[in-house]
Amino acid sequence: MNSLFTSQTISLNLPDGDVIYTPNFIEIEESNTIFNTLLKETPWQHDEIVVFGKKHLQPRLTALYGDKKTSLSYSNIKMLPHNWTPLLLNLKQKVEHVCLTNFNVVLLNYYRNEGDGNGWHSDNENELGKNPTIASLSFGASRVFQMKHKEDKLLKRNLILEHGSLLVMQGNTQEFWKHQIPKSSKAIGPRINLTFRTIK
Report whether 172 contacts 124 (CB < 8 A). no
Of the options 2.60.120.590, 2.40.50.110, 3.40.50.1370, 2.40.50.180, the CATH number for the domain spanning 2-197:
2.60.120.590
Measure CA 97 to chain center: 17
Q: What residues of the chain score a pLDDT lower than 70?
A: 1-7
pLDDT of residue 139: 98
| CA-based torsion, 114, 116, 120, 123: positive or negative | negative
DSSP of 116-144, one letter per residue? --EEEE----GGG-SS--EEEEEEES-EE
Report whether 132 contacts 91 (CB < 8 A). no
- With H, G, I as helix, E, B as strand and everything else as coil, classify residue 189: coil
| CA-based torsion, 21, 187, 49, 66: positive or negative | negative
The rounded distance, in Å, linking the Cα atoms of 43 and 61 is 10
pLDDT of residue 3: 41
Q: How far is CA 105 from CA 85, 126, 169, 176, in A?
A: 12, 15, 16, 23
pLDDT of residue 85: 98
- With H, G, I as helix, E, B as strand and everything else as coil, classify residue 104: coil
The rounded distance, in Å, linking the Cα atoms of 135 and 167 is 6
pTM of full prediction above 0.75:
yes
The rounded distance, in Å, linking the Cα atoms of 181 and 27 is 23
Q: Where are the beta strands (DSSP E) in the chain?
A: 10-11, 18-22, 48-51, 54-57, 61-66, 72-74, 77-79, 105-111, 118-121, 134-140, 143-149, 156-161, 166-170, 177-181, 191-197
pLDDT of residue 6: 54
pLDDT of residue 8: 82
pLDDT of residue 126: 83
- Encode pLDDT of 88-98 as tens digits: 999 999 999 99
